[in-house]
Amino acid sequence: METELAFGLELRYEEDILHNDKQIIKDIEQFVQKDLCVAIVGAEIESNFSFIFRELCNLLPNCRLVLHMIGPNIKRKQDENYDNLKMKFEKKTLFHQIEDIDIQFDFIICFNSGFVAYRSWIKTIEKFMMMKIPVFTTERCYLTLSMFDKAKENRDVRLTNFSINPFRSVVKKSCQQYDLSWLSNSFICKLEF
């Protein structure tokens, strides 16, 4: 009986998530009817996942997605072009070290950024503030996001709109140190300047 109940609850949870994801896509599609230019800052493994971004493009057929991969750990690759997706491998450097940005981004996203773990983000966040472009970040756990306020060193920036990321990874990973599991890109929020 307990197993059937647990399975039923899990199935209901999955249906709710699927319904919410479909609603989010509909909401996004209403506003996106053009090229969408996005910088993926701190890109690493994301540069290998064009198939995932192509799936996103299938959900947004009226939009051409132009992704600019920027980060010191991206693999040097040739740009990739598909029907409604273009992936550009811009710079193998830190974002704040780029002096000649002549691209007008619609927004910036930093996947699993680790803002509180790496001091190099301080100058990058300052550059985000000067550019006045919407910036979103994802993290593995809520604790990392909540530590941001303590680590920001009195800068006029904060993280807002914490929520579970509907597009998070579905593959659970385990943390041997704390015996906890986590999902990549579990939480999403916006940087407010």
Query: Per-residue DSSP letters for the chain?
Result: -HHHHHHHHHHHHHHHHHHHHHHHHHHHHHH--SEEEEEEET-SGGGG-HHHHHHHHHH-TT-EEEEEEE-TTPPP---EE-SSEEEEEEESS-GGG--------SEEEETT--TTT-TTHHHHHHHHHHHT--EEEEES-HHHHHTHHHHSTT-S-EEEEEEE-TT--S-EEEETTTTEEEETT-EEEEEE-
pLDDT average, residue stretch 36-42: 92
Q: Tell me the average pLDDT across 92-112.
A: 88
Q: 45 — phi, psi (to 5°)?
A: -70, -20
DSSP SS3 for 129: helix
Of the ranges 104-113, 162-171, 179-188, which one carries the lowest mean pLDDT score? 179-188
DSSP H or E stretch at residue 90: strand 85-91
Q: Are 126 and 152 in contact (CB under 8 A)?
A: no
Q: Average pLDDT in the 156-162 region? A: 80
- Mean pLDDT (the chain) is 76
Threshold 0.85, pTM exceeds: no
Instruction: Using the predicted structure, report yes or no on whether residue 180 has a pLDDT greater than 70.
Output: no
Mean pLDDT of 160-169: 74
